[in-house]
Amino acid sequence: MAPAYSENVDHVYLRSTPQRRRTAALAVARIRRHVASGRLLDIGCATGIFLDEAARYFSVEGIELSAWAADIACRRHKVMRQPLTTSNGAVAVYDVVTLWGVIEHFEEPMKEIAAIFAAMKPGGLLAIYTGDADSWMARLLGKAWWWYQGMHLIYFSRTTLGRLLTKAGFEIVGTETYQQYFKLSTLSSSLNRYRIGKLLAPILTAKAIGDIMIRLVISGEMVMYARKPGS
């Protein structure tokens, strides 16, 4: 990741904590279909919301380059402040490694994935959430697709992400659509870049329903699971 991430501050992120927490709990439950417990590393752990939920079942650690976010997360969890590629951590120690909306920020994704492979135990699980650039939603929206933004350096499809992980030595064990929770008022903010979002805004932000939380399954929101070969 670029060094600029160390200076990133995002107070808006904190306002969405309740929905992120419910999304994290759902993600943990789906990971536990493959690995029930063990040692987990969340790369790009932000303020530690996912680590909070994962800590119910796993011994957790995080990596976060934003000093602001890491300062918040380290109040509750062990957080490293440098990329796995530059750390001198132990080899083959993690049962689970997660990257939620992170891989698209990597300047050299193969280098990062290789470091992850080395840090995982045989049989360990890697879970990656990112956008699927070959999805029907991405094709429909074109340049207006929400994953197309300046901070994202590389875009993947199910095919290209699977190829990257396979080349690094992983075995793909499943791909599905990432499920996440939104408050209606937050959903309105996310949709504001689109014409329909502006039309729906008065409804979604109304006091009577703005805090209602719903679970969404949206085309293009991809999560891929891969396993390091071994027992």
Helix 184-191 vs helix 195-204: crossing angle, to nearest 10: 160
pTM: predicted TM-score of the whole model, two decimal places: 0.89
What integer pLDDT is reported at residue 81 of this predicted model?
94
Distance (Å) of CA 159 to CA 16, 20, 59, 110? 32, 28, 32, 15
Residue pLDDT tens, the chain, 231 long: 545 555 566 666 777 889 999 999 999 999 999 999 999 999 999 999 999 999 999 999 999 999 999 999 999 999 999 999 887 666 889 999 999 999 999 999 999 999 999 999 999 999 999 999 999 999 998 998 989 998 999 999 999 999 999 999 999 999 999 999 987 666 556 666 655 555 555 655 666 665 778 898 999 999 999 999 997
Domains of the chain: 3-180+218-227 (3.40.50.150)
pLDDT at 212: 79
Q: Among candidates 85, 165, 177, 180, which has minimal Cα distance to 126?
A: 165
